[in-house]
Amino acid sequence: MADQISGDMNQPVANGEDTTPAAGLISQYVKDLSFENPNAPAIYQKETAPGIDVQFNIAAAQVGEEVHEVVLKIEVRAESEGTTAFIVDLSYAGLFGLRNIPAEHVQPFLLGEAPRLLFPFARRVLADCVRDGGFPPLLLEPIDFGQLYLQQTEAGTQANVGDVGHA
């Protein structure tokens, strides 16, 4: 009996093995960023505000024994009067450490919670990039990644880890 601690099964045992579930953000970074302003300077003469199309995708991959990379890819295309104003492609990534997480909770975390943690930082990078390109900053509305994951799972469209959806 000296080799176990009685009580909560999520507590460390005397032999030093930690069985407590843990998830945390290790690092976050811009993996890829592209801004195109193909019709400058003429595009700045347009009087109408550009129409904005935003699409996103989430990919997750295991990169170590307890480490996963989650990539939030955001593609933005803006057009004004049939002319491309700007195009932005951003891949914003984070490394997440997952330890003692039950297998059925890994994918919901990686495709629901992890993108929620990354999104505010990706949103800022995107807004700064568009502003630095000579346009008003583009501030994306918050996205409920957890709800989106649940909707796609219920609809049976969760074909693989890399395809979460488009907005």
Query: 28 or 167, which is more confident?
Result: 28
CA dihedral 153, 157, 163, 164 (to 10 degrees): -40
Which strands, in side-by-side order, build the sheet including 22-36?
A: 22-36, 83-99, 67-80, 51-62
Q: What is the mean pLDDT of residues 24-32?
A: 96
Q: What pLDDT does 166 receive?
A: 38
Q: Which residue has the tokens 């009996």?
A: 1
Domains of the chain: 24-155 (3.10.420.10)
Percent of the chain with pLDDT over 90: 61
Identify the CA nearest to 75 among candidates 87, 63, 58, 85.
Answer: 87
pLDDT band at 150 (very low <50, low <70, confident <90, very high): confident
d(CA 153, CA 151): 5
Tens digit of pLDDT for each residue in 100-120?
Answer: 988 899 999 999 999 999 999
Least confident interval from 90-104, 122-136, 139-153: 139-153
pLDDT at residue 136 is higher than 80: yes
Q: What pLDDT does 121 receive?
A: 97
pLDDT band at 158 (very low <50, low <70, confident <90, very high): very low
Neighbours of 138 (CB within 10 A): 20
Q: What is the mean pLDDT of residues 84-105?
A: 94
Q: Which residue has the tokens 């019709």?
A: 39
